[in-house]
Amino acid sequence: MNFGRLALPVLALALAPLLPGIINRTKAVIGGRDGQPLLQLYYDLAKLVRKGAVYSHTTSWVFRAGPVVGLVSAVAVLAVLPLGGTSAPAGFSGDLIFMAYMLGLMRFFTVIAALDTGSAFEGMGASREVQFSALAEPVLLMALAALSLAARGSGASLGGGLFSLSAIYSHLSISTWMRSGPALLLVAGALWVVFLAENSRIPFDDPNTHLELTMIHEVMVLDHSGPDFAMILYGASLKMWILGALLAGLLVPVRSGNIWIDTGACVFGLFVLAVLTGVVESVMARLRLTRVPQLLVSAGFLSTFALALIIWS
């Protein structure tokens, strides 16, 4: 294990709060507003950590444990998350399942913390969250299965690192794109849908709506305050970093062998992804809630088609 690998989680921990900042800046520029500073989330986090907290009489330790478990789950995923061609510090065969289920644990605790408040609004958000994520999970795993096959097809043996995110992403190069470009494009589409849905972005959820009734993620964390809320915001930005890294690592197939260039390219890809998200949010409205499952299921078909293309071509 070299120094560069250990630096990956540190990089994620340091830069993740930048992503929401970039999205908001993009939206501000397109909307012709002055907007908030790029580093707004850092300021928010610093402010929230120094504050006290207000709790509802109804809540119990579950409400207080939710943000902690959620944040640490996201951090645990960083241990297996590669960045472009740079391998993760603790990758292993099957770590993509571990990643998906750790994010599931994060969601589980966010949801029960929301239910702990006894508020109808938070219950509503929680209910939608579990519904959409149940559909997003098969999409994510199918997309990763397709990627693992595409990467293996490059002739290099993945050996014991089969189905490890690090092995998959280090073998995804320009030549993989040349060989199975259409399939990879479908996978990217599916991952893009998962990225937007799981991070509660438009068109699935509007983080800026003024009405609690229409939100999903934001309404679940209404009652959190102070350091608890800081952990939630930080955890959410890490989740965005994680799912974004899966997509950026695919779309930016720079595999020069130089750890600085590869990692830098992927981080740049992540920032571009954030800009794209901002553009989508500026030009689109949120979907009707009943339409969301249809979009997620279509993303499932995308990834399944991609898998079929890779296997039978």
Q: Say how far apart CA 39 and CA 302 lie, in whole Å.
A: 36
Is residue 92 part of the contact set for other proteins (CB under 8 A)? yes
Between residue 47 and residue 66, which ones bind other proteins under the rule CB under 8 A?
49, 51-62, 64-65
Stretch that binds other proteins, among 7-15, 25-33, 234-242, 303-311 (CB under 8 A): 303-311
Helix (H) or strand (E) holding 15: helix 3-15
Distances (CA, A) of 88 to 1, 36, 116, 171, 207: 9, 33, 35, 14, 31
Nearer to other proteins, 6 or 54 (CB): 54
Chain centroid offset of residue 273 CA: 11
Among 86, 87, 119, 200, binds other proteins (CB under 8 A): 119
3-state secondary structure of 83: strand
Q: What is the dihedral of CA 114, 117, 121, 126, to 10 degrees?
A: 20
Nearer to other proteins, 22 or 99 (CB): 99
Among 16, 22, 115, 245, binds other proteins (CB under 8 A): 115
Q: Which residues pair with 83 in a beta bridge?
A: 86
Is residue 293 part of the contact set for other proteins (CB under 8 A)? yes
Is residue 13 part of the contact set for other proteins (CB under 8 A)? no
Is residue 291 part of the contact set for other proteins (CB under 8 A)? no
Stretch that binds other proteins, among 6-14, 87-95, 172-180, 196-204 (CB under 8 A): 87-95
Stretch that binds other proteins, among 18-26, 134-142, 172-180, 272-280 (CB under 8 A): 134-142
Nearer to other proteins, 279 or 289 (CB): 289
Is residue 140 part of the contact set for other proteins (CB under 8 A)? yes
Nearer to other proteins, 94 or 264 (CB): 94
Is residue 68 part of the contact set for other proteins (CB under 8 A)? yes
| Residues near 4 by beta carbon (within 8 Å), at least 6 away in sequence | 86, 259, 263
Stretch that binds other proteins, among 2-10, 136-144, 171-179, 234-242 (CB under 8 A): 136-144
Q: Say how far apart CA 291 and CA 46 lie, in whole Å.
A: 38
Nearer to other proteins, 122 or 281 (CB): 122
242-264 per-residue burial string, b: 16 or more CB within 10 A, e: under 16: bbbbbbbbbbbbbbeeebeebbb
Is residue 233 part of the contact set for other proteins (CB under 8 A)? no
Longest dimension (CA), the chain: 60
**What type of residue sits at position 1?**
M
**Nearest approach, Cβ of 118 to other proteins (angstroms)?**
3
Stretch that binds other proteins, among 36-44, 124-132, 175-183, 257-265 (CB under 8 A): 124-132
| Residues near 172 by beta carbon (within 8 Å), at least 6 away in sequence | 147, 150, 151, 184, 249, 250, 253, 255
